[in-house]
Amino acid sequence: MKAIRLEEPGRFVGLDLEPVSGPLRPGEALVRVHRIGVCGTDIHAFRGNQPFFTYPRILGHELGVQVLELEGSASASYGATGPAEGIRPGEYCAIEPYLNCGSCIACRQGKPNCCVKLSVLGVHVDGGMRETLVVPIRKLHPSKTLALDQLALVETLAIGCHAVDRAGLREGEFVLVTGAGPIGLGVVQFAIEAGAQVIVLDINGQRLEFCRNRLGVPYTIDASRENVLAVLAEITAGDLPTAVFDATGNGRSMASAFEYSANGARLIFVGLFQGEVTFNDPNFHRRELTILASRNARPEDFTRIIALIEAKRIDTSPWITHRAALNDVVKEFPLWTKAETGVIKAMIEV
Ligand SMILES: [Zn+2]
Ligand SMILES: [Zn+2]
């Protein structure tokens, strides 16, 4: 079978791997990969600035697949009965790429997204940039109507969905989302869905325009040329936003979130920064802020997103800006790492 592997930073190779052989174990599914979404994690791995990442690695964790073979039911595997109960060969699915242990403190609390032994497909173990793959049945999220592209977008959207869920947004409140990359855009869509008044902050004018024109965001701020605090105060009649999401993974940006929030606000750190974020304690205390981390997504987020796309409450059409066949990934991928190509989401077809 064809596969693409990242050998070391900056170097993909095309491979001809042995097809998956031998019997499946109980609770496993063999799937045909049809679509792979490319995200920031893949780009960091390619650039070599993904800490703790080991090479070589087959990337790919945003997957639209078709079930080829199943061994037993979803409940035959460890942990709670999966969402894929009753699934049949031939069905199309999104994959929840977070492989969890089922028994640690986080798993026991229904938080497999932050399992102590979490292993993410395409990050910690080989992922989906290949024709077939074996995954736990309970990680399959089927849909009878979603297109393959849409199935591959579910994971990206799930990150935003989970972050918005963590915040418990109220209708009508002002919400700031910093960072208009795919993760931030996911947050934006679910914040709008929750009825919040969304403000997006970025330094990329093209992305802010995308937010206004394609996602219907009412307010955007370009930090490269506007006084952020003054504009925020103006939009919110002096109150400042009551929920601030940071989807930049930039330490400076995360630290400034403390300045941009209203008294009593929640800060939700979605983007991951490999370092220390510091803040002024009186500033934090005076506002009585709540800081929340948001990591990956929960199985319920996948189920909910699929239902929302099926009901046409979430529109995925603006997302995909670039597309390539698996064979062309080695050549095309480097272009997707450049902001000037206007890439929001690149989709690989297998
Ligand atoms: Zn991703
Ligand atoms: Zn666990």
Predicted confidence at residue 85, as pLDDT, reads 63
Ligand number nearest CA of 116 is: 2
- The pLDDT-based confidence of 43 (bands split at 50, 70, 90) is very high
Residue 84 pLDDT greater than 70, yes or no: no
168 CA distance to ligand 1 centroid (A)?
23
Percent above pLDDT 70 for the chain: 96
**Mean pLDDT over each residue of the chain, to the nearest integer:** 93
Mean predicted confidence (pLDDT) in 203-230: 95
Range of lowest pLDDT (67-81, 124-138, 274-288):
67-81
Mean predicted confidence (pLDDT) in 250-265: 96
Residue 98 pLDDT greater than 80, yes or no: yes
Predicted confidence at residue 60, as pLDDT, reads 97
Ligand number nearest CA of 111 is: 2
12 CA distance to ligand 2 centroid (A)?
32
The rounded distance, in Å, linking the Cα atoms of 61 and 93 is 13
201 CA distance to ligand 1 centroid (A)?
21
Is the whole-model pTM more than 0.95?
A: no
Residue 78 pLDDT greater than 70, yes or no: no
Predicted confidence at residue 72, as pLDDT, reads 76
Residue 28 pLDDT greater than 90, yes or no: yes
Each residue's pLDDT tens digit, 125-180: 999 999 999 999 999 999 999 999 999 999 999 999 999 999 999 999 999 999 99
Ligand number nearest CA of 112 is: 2
Range of lowest pLDDT (13-22, 71-80, 296-305, 311-320):
71-80
175 CA distance to ligand 1 centroid (A)?
23
**Per-residue CA distances from 168 to 194, 284, 303, 350 (Å):** 9, 20, 18, 38
111 CA distance to ligand 2 centroid (A)?
8
Residue 183 pLDDT greater than 50, yes or no: yes
User: ω into residue 56 within 30 of 0, thus cis?
Assistant: yes
Predicted confidence at residue 77, as pLDDT, reads 41
Range of lowest pLDDT (49-53, 133-137, 226-230):
49-53
φ/ψ of 245, rounded to 5, equals: -100, 135
Each residue's pLDDT tens digit, 314-328: 888 888 999 999 999
